[in-house]
């Protein structure tokens, strides 16, 4: 790791000021991606701004409309929240299976989304539930948030403060992990929402994406059979030693089928 200046602001205003002042500042949330990246010397920020002391970024609020999760809320907290488990059980279950136990104890929803790792789990839930991402500047609809490989709609100097998930009629997430890293090789989140069915895929492409053909089929007939025959094109999907684009495309259908069945 290259050395850097470390800051631990106590307020959003201080964090934004530190970020603005830094030549090449990086925000540190849970650090589950940033610190390994720094250790491998793949990044050399001048300043690291730790958001851990900003109390307003933490916490879970559940009301009749849905669940709002503060950006610095840890995966383990979402997984263990009885309120989340009651409102959106699929979300709690997803959080309970991110990474490993120690990753869940440190990793945060804001960090995960801002990083937009193609194999992260949360993007599937955000897109699958049609969540809203709130930043210090604005709110961003899930459909507008994920732009590409490690690329989001966030602008420079913009910090995620919370994410609001509307409560679906039913939902489920199914993941087929990469055997080595245990990240999602393919993860599919399906939800019956107020605006109709949503099917969001992570792991398979450069960033999370929706499968309209499956959503249309589910709108007509909410059943595993409805999606069983729908294949996403392999072209453009990720490929590595553990899964070719063709294999991933196939798994999207299998995981979608299983998610619909699990959602009931």
Partner 1 sequence: MGNVARIGERVRRTEDRRFLTGAGRYVDDLQLARCTYAYFLRSPHAHARIRSIDTSKAAAAPGVVAVFTGKDVADAKVGGLICGWVVKDKHGEPHKAPGHPAIALDTVRYVGDTVAMVIADTAAQARDAAEQIEVDYEVLPAVIDPAAAVAASAVQVHADVPGNLSYDWELGDKAAVDAAFARAAHITKLDLVNNRLVPNAMEPRAAAAEYDRGTGTYTLYTTSQNPHVTRLVLSAFVLGIPEHKLRVVAPDVGGGFGSKIFIYADETLVLWAAGKTGRAIKWTAERSESFMTDAHGRDHVTHAELALDKDGKFLALKVDTIANMGAYLSTFATAVPTYLYGTLLAGQYTTPAIHCNVRAVFTHTAPVDAYRGAGRPEATYLLETIVSKAAREMNIDPAELRKRNFIAAGAFPYQTPVALTYDSGNYTPILDQAMKLADYAGASERKAAAKAKGKLRGIGISSYIEACGLAPSAVVGSLGAGVGQWESAQLRFNPTGNLQILTGSHSHGQSHETTFAQIVSDKLGIPLDQIEVVHGDTAQVPFGMGSYGSRSLAVGGSAIMKAADKIIAKGKKIAAHLMEAAEADIVFENGAFKVTGTDKNVPLGQAVFSAYVPHNYPLDKLEPGMDENAFYDPSNFTYPSGTQICEVEVDPDTGGVEIVNFVAVDDFGNVVNPMIVEGQVHGGIAQGVGQALLEYTVYDKESGQLLSGSYMDYTMPRADNLPSFNLGYQVTPCPHNPLGVKGCGEAGAIAAPAAVMNAVRDALAQVGAQDRIEMPATPQRVWQAIHAH
Partner 2 sequence: MTMSVSMTVNGKTVSGNVEARTLLVQFLREHLGLTGTHVGCDTSQCGACVVHVDGISVKSCTLLAVQAEGAKVTTIEGLAKSAEELHPMQEAFRENHGLQCGFCTPGMVMSAIDLVKRHNYQLDEETVRHGLEGNLCRCTGYHNIVKSIIAGAAAMKAAGV
Is 243 a binding residue for partner 1 by CB under 8 A? The answer is: yes
- Cβ-based neighbour number of residue 89 at 10 Å: 14
Among 251, 252, 260, 263, interactor with partner 1 by CB under 8 A: 251
Give the residue with the Cβ less far from partner 1, 134 or 244. 244
Q: According to CB under 8 A, which one of 89, 134, 158, 182 is a site residue for partner 2?
A: 182
42 binds partner 2 (CB under 8 A): no
Q: How far out from the chain centre does Cα 236 lie? A: 20
Give the range of 19-27, 101-109, 139-147, 174-182 binding partner 1 by CB under 8 A. Answer: 174-182
Among 85, 89, 105, 170, contact with partner 2 (rule: CB under 8 A): 105
Q: Which residues of 75-87 are buried (b: 16+ CB within 10 A; e: fewer)?
A: bbbbbebeebbeb
Which CB, 10 or 242, lies closer to partner 1? 242
Q: Which does 251 bind (CB under 5 to 8 A by kind): partner 1, partner 2, none?
A: partner 1
**Can residue 235 be called a binding residue for partner 2 (CB under 8 A)?**
no
Q: Does 93 bind partner 2 (CB under 8 A)?
A: no
Q: Based on the shown chain and the rule CB under 8 A, indicate whether residue 244 belongs to the binding site for partner 1.
A: yes
* Contact assessment for residue 129 and residue 189, using Cβ atoms and an 8 Å cutoff: yes
Out of 14, 31, 158, 166, the only residue in the binding site for partner 2 (CB under 8 A) is: 31
In angstroms, give the least distance from the CB of 76 to partner 2: 8
Which of 258, 264, 133 is closest to 208 using CA atoms? 133
Question: Least CB distance from residue 120 to partner 1, whole Å?
Answer: 14
Q: Name the binder of 6 from partner 2, partner 1, none, CB < 5-8 A by kind.
A: partner 2
The answer to whether 102 contacts partner 2 (rule: CB under 8 A) is yes
| DSSP class per residue in the chain | ----EEE--SSHHHHHHHHHH-SSEEEESS-TTHHHHHHTTS---SEEEE-TT-GGG--EEEETTEEEEETT-BHHHHHH-HHHHHH-HHHHHHHHTSS-HHHHHH-BHHHHHHHT-TT-SHHHHHHHTT-EEEESS-EEEHHHHEEETTEESPPTT--EEEEEEEPPSEEEEEEEE-TTT-SEEEEEEEEEETTEEEEEEESSSSS-EE-HHHHHHHHH--SHHHHHT-----TT---BTTB-HHHHHHHHHHHHHHHHHHH-
Among residues 23, 42, 82, 241, the one that binds partner 1 under rule CB under 8 A: 241
**122 lies in the site for partner 2, by CB under 8 A:** no
- In the complex, least distance from residue 62 CB atom to partner 2, rounded to whole angstroms: 21
User: Which residues in this chain contact partner 1 in the complex, by CB under 8 A?
Assistant: 1-2, 41, 176, 179-181, 240-244, 247, 250-251, 254
User: Which residues in this chain contact partner 2 in the complex, by CB under 8 A?
Assistant: 1-6, 8, 28, 31-32, 35-36, 38-40, 48, 50, 52, 76, 80, 99-103, 105-106, 181-182
């Amino acid at each position: 790791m290259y050395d850097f200046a470390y800051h631990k602001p106590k307020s959003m205003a201080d964090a934004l000021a530190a970020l603005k002042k830094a030549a090449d500042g990086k925000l540190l949330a849970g650090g589950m991606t940033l610190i390994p990246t720094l250790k491998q010397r793949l990044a050399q920020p001048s300043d690291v701004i730790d958001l851990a002391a900003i109390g307003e970024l933490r916490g879970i609020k559940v009301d009749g409309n849905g669940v709002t999760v503060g950006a610095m809320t840890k995966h383990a907290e979402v997984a263990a929240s009885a309120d989340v488990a009651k409102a959106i059980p699929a979300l709690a279950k997803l959080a309970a299976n991110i990474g490993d136990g120690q990753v869940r104890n440190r990793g945060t929803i804001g960090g995960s989304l801002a990083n937009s790792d193609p194999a992260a789990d949360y993007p599937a839930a955000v897109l699958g539930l049609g969540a809203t991402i709130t930043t210090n500047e604005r709110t961003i609809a899930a459909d507008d948030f994920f732009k590409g490989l490690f690329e989001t709609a966030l602008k420079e100097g913009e910090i995620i403060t919370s994410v609001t998930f509307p409560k679906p009629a039913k939902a489920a997430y199914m993941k087929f992990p990469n055997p080595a890293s245990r990240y999602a090789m393919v993860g599919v989140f399906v939800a019956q929402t107020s605006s109709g069915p949503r099917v969001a895929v992570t792991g398979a492409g450069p960033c999370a994406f929706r499968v309209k053909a499956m959503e249309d089929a589910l709108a007509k007939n909410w059943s595993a059979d409805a999606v069983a025959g729908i294949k996403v094109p392999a072209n453009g999907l990720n490929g590595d030693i553990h899964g070719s684009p063709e294999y991933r495309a196939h798994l999207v259908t299998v995981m979608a089928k299983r998610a619909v069945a699990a959602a009931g």
